[in-house]
Amino acid sequence: MPIDNGNLILEESEYKSLIKKEPFAKTMLRPYYGGYEFLNKKIRYCLWLDGISPAEINKSKFVKDRIEKTREYRLSSNSVTTREMAITPSLFGYRRKLPVSDYLLIPKVSSENRSYIPIGFMKPKNITNGSAFMISDAGLYEFGLLTSGMHMAWMRYVCGRMKSDYQYSASLVYNNFPWPSLNEKKINAITEAAQVILDTRLLFPDSTFAELYNPSTMPPKLVKAHQKLDKTVETAYGRSFDDDNQRVAYLFELYQKLAGELFVEEKKRGKGRKVQ
């Protein structure tokens, strides 16, 4: 979260103008994504000055001006915490640990009309804001499970809502989702089906995720790829399902079983004892 009143964020036009006037400033800029930018292919950038020397920053009047405006904004806040952030106005107010490899991005809010929340891989240079979740060190297997109909059924049942749209949650949806117990053969099958989805998306480079996953415009090839993945994931769980009600009922049974096994294991370790 930048806590900057927009001063550390640049629209595409501002980015191009700055690079034209001050080409050296490119090293101080990173692509900036949230759920909206990811879903709609909206290009934005941010000033990412962590590790940039004062001498380098001092070369750019634009960057210095934006830093000063950020400092003034934070100092004017009624929040003590925000005013304290004015000590380091060149940095985002809240910073997560940056991934060192490709990561999965999941938008926090997605239309209830979609059968699947669009998720995808991002490069580590991209900065993701608080309107999306990051999953570091994730591969095709994790992508496949999370974009499957099984996970979507779970998400729709346990997630919160932003008006009528789905609001994904790390604590409720992701952390509690019961993953299947798999062997190498099933993992490979999910990985292959997940790759087909990514390859199919590439066939439509001019389309946004919002367009690709709109029920009215979702390409038949992409629908077919997701259906193939859904069947593959259901096979990994050891059965097939007629509808989401059956999927959710099964997942809750599995959740209770896994939670019970975890309780027994923690009790053996002495973690399940009641405090007197």
pLDDT of residue 66 exceeding 60, the answer is yes
pLDDT at 276: 35
pLDDT at 273: 43
58 burial (CB, 10 Å; 0-12 / 13-18 / 19+) is exposed
pLDDT at 98: 86
pLDDT at 71: 97
pLDDT at 263: 59
pLDDT in tens, 255-273: 999 888 775 666 666 654 4
Instruction: Mention every residue, 6+ apart, whose C-beta is less than 8 A from residue 135.
Output: 103, 104, 106, 142, 146
Q: What's the average model confidence in pLDDT over 48-54? A: 94
pLDDT in tens, 163-221: 889 999 999 999 999 999 889 999 999 999 999 999 999 999 999 999 999 999 999 99
Q: What is the 3-state secondary structure (H, E, C) of 20-33?
A: HHCHHHHHHEEEEE
Q: What's the average model confidence in pLDDT over 125-140? A: 94
pLDDT in tens, 79-88: 999 999 999 9
pLDDT of residue 155 exceeding 90, the answer is yes
Look over the chain and give the mean of its residue pLDDT values, rounded to a whole number. 93
Share of the chain residues as helix, strand and coil, in percent rounded to the nearest 5: 50, 15, 40
pLDDT at 259: 84
pLDDT at 68: 97
Q: How far is CA 181 from the centre of its chain?
A: 24
Percent of the chain having pLDDT more than 70?
A: 95
pTM here is 0.88
Instruction: Mention every residue, 6+ apart, whose C-beta is less than 8 A from residue 99.
Output: 124, 134, 136, 137
Q: What's the average model confidence in pLDDT over 148-165? A: 94
Where along the chain do its domains lie?
9-87, 140-160+169-268
pLDDT in tens, 233-249: 999 999 899 999 999 99
Instruction: Mention every residue, 6+ apart, whose C-beta is less than 8 A from residue 38.
Output: 105, 107, 118, 120, 122, 132, 209
- Residue 94: DSSP 8-state: S
Residues 174-180: contacts with CB under 8 Å, at least 24 apart: 174/106, 174/133, 174/146, 176/255, 177/151, 177/251, 178/251, 178/254, 178/255, 178/258, 179/145, 180/145, 180/233, 180/236, 180/237, 180/238
